[in-house]
Amino acid sequence: MKTAVFLLLASAACAQPLSVYSEFAHIETMTDAAGKVTAPAEPREILSPAIARNAFSSFQIVVDVPRGTPYQLYVAQNPENAVEVTLYRENGEKLERVDQPVSGNGTQVFWMDLWTARDAPVARIKVEPQLHVNNDWVIYPMEARVVSATVPEGPRPNQSDPIVWAFVCGSRRVYFSYANSDTDRIRFRNAQQDVALSKTVPKEDLQKLFCDKPESADPEWYLRIRDYLLRLR
């Protein structure tokens, strides 16, 4: 990829045409504020995320450009094919699978699904969304960390499971619904992977770590639990 490259800086002072957020960030899609995060107030910065092996990891990509501005979106890797990348265009409650390069001409939310193989080496890999717009390249400098945590094999979720488990904290629970929307189904699938990882840890230990925290309206609070599970070996 040639021509000028602009590395994205974490600066609230100017809008960025290319951003990456966690699967839990709430992003406006239908109004004049499309592409803006509505919750949490300070979304997690996604620059060096940990990703488990034998598992999916999901992120939201926002292309924020004026209506009528044509662009193409790619996801580059180094090493090549370190993970399997699937891109979806968000359309209401549906996700439409798209092939690279993805063309568009206005603000759009995409989902980036990464599959990491069981035998993937523990290493840092570049998984960089790249946007070609206005005859320049904008690169989001994401370096994923493939960790030792490996999701064991187990039954896959199915549509007969409308509401899944209350994870760890009893009455302060997060439900992952399979049936509501395509994005819910992705979160459900990823949560099932967490359940499989958590079976190696006594539930009482997880409760001590997480269940004495006050209630939070932050939709990304659950990532604290996933962070802990991804540190397991």
Mean pLDDT of 188-197: 86
4, pLDDT greater than 50: no
**Confidence tier at 170 by pLDDT (50, 70, 90):** low
Identity of the highest mean pLDDT range in 16-30, 146-160, 170-184: 16-30
Q: Which residues contact 70 (CB under 8 A, 6 or more apart)?
A: 103, 104, 105, 133
Q: Round to whole Å and give the CA distance between 20 and 138.
A: 13
Give the mean model confidence (pLDDT) for residues 6-23.
66
- Tell me the per-residue pLDDT of 69-102, one tens digit each, with 9 for 90 and over: 999 999 999 999 999 999 999 998 899 999 999 9
Angle between helices 223-230 and 203-210 (to 10 degrees): 130
Domains in the chain, please, with CATH?
5-147 (2.60.40.10)
Is 12 a residue whose pLDDT tops 70? Answer: no
pTM of the full structure: 0.85
User: Span 151-165, mean pLDDT?
Assistant: 57
Secondary structure of 133-177 in HEC code, one letter for each residue: ECCEEEECCCEEEEEEEECCCCCCCCCCCCECCCCCCCCCCCCCE
Instruction: Give 179's pLDDT tier (boundaries 50, 70, 90).
Output: low
Exposed / middle / buried, residue 113 (Cβ in 10 Å: 0-12, 13-18, 19+): buried
Per-residue b or e along 208-233, where b marks 16 or more CB atoms closer than 10 Å to that residue's CB = eebeeeeeeebbbbbbebbebbbeee
Please measure the distance between the N-terminal and C-terminal CA atoms of the chain and give it in whole angstroms: 37
The token pair that represents 6 in the structure block: 């602009």
